Chains A and B, each alone.
Chain A
């Protein structure tokens, strides 16, 4: 397990709002990951050796990170404050919209790595397994997630896609 990197911590003075935000997001993210796991059970075979591994995903411009454990029977996705990252096996860091595009199969992870827009640390094999598992999902994970929350979810996704130039 790797120790968290202090360099990814949030600006001082935002601790409480971020903590509250993470708490508020917890049931939402839990619902999202359970839905994706239920709809795409085949992805777990590709990440089987790392199904109990802890992944930390750090969107650079957001005040919190995501903690993912892709365990088939109890998948976990939660928001965590950047200054209180849990111990992790692998960490993936990049702009939020880039991470969204990678999950959605709209950007290439290797290209983002070559251009230094994507940073990985910790267990490289775990990261490669996760990437390949997600890339074998047909359709849009982001769209599925948005659909889960109805018109408001779709509206948020449309805004994000406009910002990334995909609409």
Chain B
């Protein structure tokens, strides 16, 4: 564990990395912190070919620290009952690698780290879905949590109110997945595939995803054999997740987004308001995305945060080409009537 890490500067940019190359790209593009996970079920992006070995993590931590950046290890899934060994081992490896903080969701994992590695810094994952002062204070009091990653369902005035009532830092997502489900509780993938987003670490596992192309250029995305959306030849597509599927129902025979639309969060224009509300760190979603995405998004938000710190208007480039469905929203942060 790196005990000397300085987390004091507000406006910390927390950036994703699915591979060591992406981590180096994020650091070089101006990330203050980079979050990543191991190649197993201990994190919520347990995708094929993605993530880090213990050796890769250790080398990546050295790379980041040499350039003044921090590494946060995501252990943000829930161990099945009685099978906590993988998560405990991951925490021990993270400490040996010198990570700067752990991002946890499960109370058992938090308890283990707090007891076994009392110097370790704990951040509460969005997967814990802690959105009330009472819930957040509970994690702070019992496990020494120093930062909460808030669910993406709160307005800025609500965040400001929460900040007044909790003893820890706040991190909010500012770009990427819109994430309106009760995070850490969603069982839609489990329902169709038998794999758990929250315990196996994979939402819509690629092994169960197929794309069926029709002669006219239209495309169906399917999960475990069920069609979850169909796109016309020129229509923008989204991820093959059930929550963003389009369904036919007796009252909506034309098909409709029953849960949420394929659209990405982009709070670039709200950064000053978020900082004024007491948000300490800005998180960019996308450990499953490429180096190209990391480079573009991180460098843009780096400039924006630096502009704000210099008292200037943030000048963000157009990132809509990188967004899901090629559409973006400020979601609940702007108004709970965003739909």
Contact = CB atoms under 8 A, between A and B. Distances in A.
A137 B21 contact: yes
A137 B24 CA distance: 11
B48 A128 contact: yes
B239 to A, nearest CB: 8
B227 interface: no
Contact of A108 (B49, B205, B290, B325): B290
A109 B321 CA distance: 11
A86 to B, nearest CB: 19
A110 B289 contact: yes
Contact of B290 (A7, A47, A105, A120): A105
A121 B207 CA distance: 12
A43 to B, nearest CB: 9
B47 interface: yes
Contacts of B135: none
B211 A124 contact: yes
B48 A135 contact: no
Nearest to A46: B49
B335 interface: no
Contacts of A131: 49, 290
Nearest to A107: B292
Interface stretch (B77-85, B163-171, B230-238, B306-314): B230-238
Contacts of B292: 101, 105-108
Interface stretch (A15-23, A72-80, A111-119, A142-150): A111-119
B19 A111 contact: no
A111 B322 contact: yes
Interface size class of A (residues with CB under 8 A): 35 or more
A111 B321 contact: yes
Interface residues of B, number: 43
A114 B237 contact: yes
B319 to A, nearest CB: 10
A142 to B, nearest CB: 14
Contact of A105 (B47, B206, B291): B291
Nearest to A93: B213
A130 B49 contact: yes
Contacts of B47: 128, 132
Contact of B21 (A110, A115, A135): A135
Interface string B315-327: 0000001111110
B50 A114 contact: no
Contact of A114 (B209, B211, B234, B325): B325
Interface in B197-251: 205-207, 209-213, 215, 219, 231, 233-239
Interface in B38-89: 47-50, 53
Contacts of B50: 46, 128, 132
A76 B250 CA distance: 51
22 contacts: A5-B213, A101-B292, A105-B292, A110-B293, A110-B322, A111-B293, A111-B323, A114-B237, A114-B323, A115-B321, A116-B231, A116-B237, A121-B210, A124-B211, A125-B48, A128-B50, A128-B206, A132-B18, A132-B19, A132-B47, A133-B49, A135-B19
